[in-house]
Amino acid sequence: MAEFLRKYCVHIPQRFLVCGMLFAACILCVMDRQAYFQTIYKMVYIPTPSTLSNSECPVMQHRGNSKVMFPDFIKIRFFWEREQLRAVTHALYLGLIISNIPAGFVADHYGGRWVITVGVLMGSLTTLMYPTIALQGPVKLVLARLIQGLGQGLVFSSLNSIMAQWTPKSERTRGISIITAGLFAGWGIGYGLPNISHRFMDLWQMPLYLTGAVGLLWVLVWLLFCSSK
């Protein structure tokens, strides 16, 4: 299969393919974050002033109705404190800070191909496993977000190393601009992903599964067609 694709895609300059794949990697990193933000407030029940009461059992607010008076939130919901949610959300950015600079040194010395592969793989697998990890509690979800942040730090450091190897100086600025545009494209796609996924299956988990699966597909294509230099 790989030989067939190489034969019929040989007219595409390799540096363009690498640039396109790095553009897609940036999209994936932001989509991983967006999938989390789009689902976290659907998977976690956060009482608002209109839903709070003096009752010790806030789930039983509307006792006069035969149906549970929640919006169309599905099946599994978690009752976590706001402080726990903040810890889960912030853990990714801590991971980014920890891995960003060391990843640049590793990519320069050993090549960025495997560094970015590991980074995208960490992010995609973590996104796929969010629903399962959430069942174990917020502490383990904090660790998962930290791992995802470490992976994204690998991605953003190694893509600069790869571009330095593949792109001529006359094209380097344009190449970096294209890759950076992937960050903004990721935000746009991430906002629309829940609406698309809910048309097929009304589950809060679907954006996570779709984003993680696309990331694994990216890893396969990257390993088949791209190298560090």
**Secondary structure (DSSP) of 140-207:** HHHHHHHHHHHHHHHHHHHHHHHHHHHS-HHHHHHHHHHHHHHHHHHHHHHHHHHHHHHHH---TTHH
Q: Is residue 68 part of a domain?
A: no
**8 A C-beta contact, residue 205 and residue 36:** no
Number of domains in the chain: 1
**pLDDT for 103-148, tens place per residue?**
888 888 888 889 999 999 999 999 999 988 988 888 999 999 999 9
Q: Is residue 106 part of a domain?
A: yes
Q: What percent of the chain has pLDDT over 70?
A: 75
Q: Is residue 63 part of a domain?
A: no
Q: Is residue 35 part of a domain?
A: yes
| Distance of alpha carbon 55 from alpha carbon 74, whole angstroms | 23
**pLDDT for 139-193, tens place per residue?**
999 999 999 999 999 998 888 888 888 888 888 888 888 998 988 888 888 777 7
Q: Is residue 64 part of a domain?
A: no
The pLDDT of residue 216 is above 90: yes
Task: Note the pTM of the prediction, 2 decimals.
Answer: 0.77
**Terminal alpha carbon distance of the chain:** 23
**8 A C-beta contact, residue 226 and residue 18:** yes
Q: Look up the CATH number of the domain holding residue 108.
A: 1.20.1250.20
pLDDT at 75: 47
Q: Is residue 50 part of a domain?
A: no
- 41 Cα distance to chain centroid: 16
